[in-house]
Amino acid sequence: MKKSDKPVDPSRRKILKGVSAGIVGAYSITPKLNAKNLPQDISDSIEGKVKLTLTVNGKKISKGIKPNTTLAEFIREELHLTGTKLVCNQGECGSCTVFMDGNAVYSCHLLALDADGTDVLTIEGLLDKDELHSIQQSFVDEDGLQCGFCTPGQIMSAYALLKNNSNPTDEEIKKECLVIYADAAHIPKYLIPLKMQ
Ligand code: FES
């Protein structure tokens, strides 16, 4: 008997029938579930998204996001606030620091969903209209920008430090604001004004 003459095994035929029914089922169900009049949470979950609500720089924001989105990705890619920088992207350098509910956090190392319901401040939110915040001004005055890439992270770390401790010691400034310069023996000039705020 040739291979093509061989009768199809009934159990295999049954399986194939089942698979195609599953595909057809998926196509016929999807459009209905995507209908606009469905509640938001159902249509979000179909696209693999969940709802995130938080306040960023004083504005309340509600968006559907993929659950694995980090806070840094959300801030940069969804809100287009690119002042928050990604360097190591693994919670080591501090360049992505933002201020969340009273504390400095590494936004690359936090899921955006962990920020649900919180109040987040990014470097863009420090500006008061066109006025630089005093910490930003001290970086300018003391020429502390260097290449500038990690500057937002350092400024946000300094902001968080001063919010929680108005008279930090040299050691506290080094610990909180010099993650990138962990070996620095002295406090750079641009951080000295922090001691006089
Ligand atoms: S980019 Fe987040 S800690 Fe380095």
Please, are residues 88 and 153 in contact by the beta-carbon 8 Å criterion?
Answer: no
Tell whether 152 is covered by a domain. yes
The pLDDT value recorded for residue 45 is 54
Domain membership of residue 196 as a residue range: 49-197
> What CATH number has the domain bearing residue 173?
3.10.20.30
The pLDDT value recorded for residue 179 is 56
Domains held by the chain: number: 1
Mutational test site, ligand 1, from 74, 75, 85, 87, max ligand atoms within 8 Å of CB: 87
Segments in the chain below pLDDT 50 = 1-40, 42-44, 181-183
Ligand 1 atom at shortest distance from the alpha carbon of 179: 3
Helices 151-164, 170-177: inter-axial angle, 10-degree rounding: 140
The strand pair at 50-56 and 97-100 is best described as unpaired
- Ligand 1 centroid from CA 143, angstroms: 23
Tell whether 24 is covered by a domain. no
The pLDDT value recorded for residue 149 is 84
Does the Cβ of 96 fall within 6 Å of ligand 1?
Answer: yes
User: Up-side HSE of residue 101: CA atoms within 13 Å toward CB?
Assistant: 7
Does the Cβ of 93 fall within 6 Å of ligand 1?
Answer: yes
Tell whether 114 is covered by a domain. yes
- Ligand 1 centroid from CA 46, angstroms: 31
Mutational test site, ligand 1, from 74, 82, 85, 89, max ligand atoms within 8 Å of CB: 89
Please, are residues 171 and 124 in contact by the beta-carbon 8 Å criterion?
Answer: no
Tell whether 34 is covered by a domain. no
Tell whether 38 is covered by a domain. no
Does the Cβ of 148 fall within 6 Å of ligand 1?
Answer: no
Does the Cβ of 106 fall within 6 Å of ligand 1?
Answer: yes
Please, are residues 61 and 146 in contact by the beta-carbon 8 Å criterion?
Answer: no
Ligand 1 atom at shortest distance from the alpha carbon of 86: 1
Tell whether 22 is covered by a domain. no
Chain centroid, CA 76 distance in Å = 7
Helices 134-141, 151-164: inter-axial angle, 10-degree rounding: 130
Q: Which residue has the tokens 């694995």?
A: 68
Q: Which long-range contacts (CB under 8 A, 24 or more apart) does 58-64 make?
A: 58/125, 64/40
- Ligand 1 centroid from CA 86, angstroms: 6
User: Residue 104 is inside which H or E element, if any?
Assistant: strand 103-106
Tell whether 37 is covered by a domain. no
Does the Cβ of 179 fall within 6 Å of ligand 1?
Answer: no
Tell whether 25 is covered by a domain. no
The pLDDT value recorded for residue 21 is 30
